[in-house]
Structure 1
């Protein structure tokens, strides 16, 4: 049976894995980022809520004869089935599901599926993958040309997260225990990717240093992972960007400096202790600053992500974030308007929060009032500008950068309002 896996614009790691599993079972499988290609059976890999609102994706789903959707959007299948004309949604991990789904079609006997039957949504209980040491993924010829935050591909070394951040879907999708792949399986995969022309690889998994986690951080396993990957790719082609501040120490950061491009990416989110508690980050501004300082002392550069417009964020909370940035002197800053991803606690919080108090809908009346921004957009825009001034070597914001930041803030505000509209549309089904 000819199966086409479509991963619009960006190849998701999961789409490569499912392609490899189907190929191993004798299926003729192709994988593409192009929405013009369908097969006898089409698997559509979606990672973002906004993709459910994309007119091209909606049209693609409509004209595909047998089409099944997988990816993080499956956390709330009612929305997927309501927005896209598809035959089924994979609600969790796909390894144990994909072969039966492609060969037999959706049924109540297959775990982790949602589909419509007589106008009602039928859901079966998801089953986590029993073994993450998978067969060789299906590696497309053009994977080597992909660029996702500087890497051709993000590989998965483990699943799960020990954190409980209210805005994040990872612990809801993969669970809060850590399941790691074997080092041998990871290295074999990366060697094959290199043969296919892939040069730059990023280690993913939510928090890179949790690879091999048992009852505590397994530093030896993580360091061996980095050193082994660096032997294959070279340190300049390896990155391990995503880290939690509470799972790094001097040894881990020195390994990052020695075996990778020498950057980490901390989810700092806010300089306000009150907002960090609302987000259930499990850290404090002081601990965040200590981690940044430690990384700098170890010769590692730090990028930090920040969230603005979170329900309950006051002007004082926002100012605390700006003050934190002044002190931290991060090499890079990423700002985002709080997005209530369906299935997360933030989604329910945002739905229940009075709209008049939601910064997404409140008109900004401060320094940027002439730009006609919402308060959330204005804070996002200002934070991006502020980040340029707080770098170890401050950068002058030219007209092009100013315009790009402004457009980014406006786009984020628009997209998050669309997600809010979507949540409101399905409130009765998901809350």
Structure 2
């Protein structure tokens, strides 16, 4: 029997599991479908035994992974030496939004475009609808406009219970699409702005199967949890019913809905989060500067953000917030306004990231138009942290993480080990973003 191996780097993403489930159902009795997440010698041997290898890549950094490129090159060379097997290697996942870069950087047979439920089986059967590939040095892109119904079942690996993604064993998808228009996000471009939701009975059936496989802690993803079954207004009853149903299966202490927009919460939603989950929300605040929020097209402002935080606290829900530093055009006053916001908000936790120019987003175009000497992720920091040889973005990232610790409801002591942890995190992010920025400059002609 033939084999298809799906590689999802470091963690089993929901998208990779869904594609695995679709292929298992479609090619029952024809292919053995295997889903793996760690690169090692055993996995390399599995690649060599496969007829098709699908790399499900969710980060631009995967395209720059030299180890992964070496393995692809090795598999292709071994395949050419063997007359009995021609191993096909495809890339799928969120990076398929920019196939021009993938095909130039990685020696694969093609990029499976868009949402994989329809395009992946087509490609396996030898069709080219939903595939991007190189032909005589020219990139051919055959996009599929059709959007799948969210009714497919995931292929759940036996060791799913051993993985840990921000405290959860798995993030499940209840819907696709986003009503927002944030410049740094690729979700609306990849999934569209119309909300498509999975039927509740199928979600609950999946949760039961995950539990049977050893999953204890489940997180609901989808960008903004409360948009589940969204129509013209927030369908609160559907979202609340969703949380109640999942909690009945895994227990409220084992369910989280971390990602929420501040403009799609109210007392009923927060009350359900308190009752049926671990009792946390995680808002994408991004900045304390209304000027930067407007530039990001967040659709919110400082006042709305503070109101949503206060509303959560009044409903006894813990609040985390994410912030972006180094956004093009961010002045020192904008950054100081973000620090002031954190003082006023007293968040229970914060996450800080340096602005990442995901290819083909509006932020990517803005970064390409910004000279590198003006880019804060390349510009040397000359302030209080200059002895650490940081860029301005890295310094702001470090400073904001330290600042957030000191302005929690229960401030924590900044030990030397914690300082070094945050310093190394800021440096790692800076290096990653510089590498991605160099990549998009290399291909700016096909991105703009």
Note whether the superposition's TM-score is higher than 0.5. yes
Alignment of 1:352-367 (within 5 A): 352-367=369-384
* 1:115 aligns to 2:133 (yes or no): yes
Q: Residue in 2 aligned with 1:94?
A: 116
| 2:204 aligns with one of 187, 190, 195 | 187
SS in 1 for 2:35: strand
Q: Contact 2:115/2:148 (CA < 8 Å) preserved in 1?
A: no
Q: Contact 1:306/1:335 (CA < 8 Å) preserved in 2?
A: yes
Q: Contact 1:6/1:44 (CA < 8 Å) preserved in 2?
A: yes
Following the alignment from structure 2 to structure 1, what is the Cα–Cα distance between the partners of residues 340 and 228?
Answer: 33
Following the alignment from structure 1 to structure 2, what is the Cα–Cα distance between the partners of residues 196 and 18?
Answer: 18
Q: Residue in 2 aligned with 1:132?
A: 150
* 1:18 aligns to 2:16 (yes or no): no
Alignment of 1:47-86 (within 5 A): 47-64=58-75, 65-86=87-108
Q: Contact 1:334/1:384 (CA < 8 Å) preserved in 2?
A: yes
Alignment of 1:214-225 (within 5 A): 214-225=231-242
1:128 offset after TM fit, Å? 4.1
Following the alignment from structure 2 to structure 1, what is the Cα–Cα distance between the partners of residues 123 and 363?
Answer: 32
Alignment of 1:370-385 (within 5 A): 370-385=387-402
Following the alignment from structure 1 to structure 2, what is the Cα–Cα distance between the partners of residues 57 and 5?
Answer: 14
How many residues in Structure 1 have an aligned counterpart in Structure 2? 426
SS in 2 for 1:165: coil
Deviation string, structure 1 residues 92-131 (Cα, Å, up to 9, x no partner): 1010111121121x52xx1x32111111100012334331
Q: Contact 2:247/2:276 (CA < 8 Å) preserved in 1?
A: yes
Q: Residue in 2 aligned with 1:301?
A: 318
* 1:172 aligns to 2:186 (yes or no): no
1:57 offset after TM fit, Å? 1.3
Deviation string, structure 1 residues 187-207 (Cα, Å, up to 9, x no partner): 011101101111111000000
Deviation string, structure 1 residues 314-339 (Cα, Å, up to 9, x no partner): 00000000000000000101001101
Q: Residue in 2 aligned with 1:314?
A: 331
Moved beyond 6 Å, runs of 4+: none
Following the alignment from structure 2 to structure 1, what is the Cα–Cα distance between the partners of residues 346 and 303?
Answer: 14
Q: Contact 2:113/2:119 (CA < 8 Å) preserved in 1?
A: no
Q: Contact 1:96/1:127 (CA < 8 Å) preserved in 2?
A: no
- Please tell me the root mean square deviation across aligned C-alpha atoms, in Å: 0.9
Q: Residue in 1 aligned with 2:353?
A: 336
Following the alignment from structure 2 to structure 1, what is the Cα–Cα distance between the partners of residues 392 and 377?
Answer: 6
* 1:418 aligns to 2:422 (yes or no): no
Higher mean C-alpha deviation, range 287-296 or range 351-360: 351-360
Following the alignment from structure 2 to structure 1, what is the Cα–Cα distance between the partners of residues 204 and 299?
Answer: 33
User: Structure 2: 5+ residue runs without aligned partners?
Assistant: 76-86
Q: Residue in 2 aligned with 1:159?
A: 176
1:281 offset after TM fit, Å? 0.2
1:50 offset after TM fit, Å? 0.6
Alignment of 1:253-292 (within 5 A): 253-292=270-309
1:61 offset after TM fit, Å? 2.1
Following the alignment from structure 1 to structure 2, what is the Cα–Cα distance between the partners of residues 391 and 407?
Answer: 22
* 1:3 aligns to 2:4 (yes or no): yes
Following the alignment from structure 2 to structure 1, what is the Cα–Cα distance between the partners of residues 253 and 413?
Answer: 27
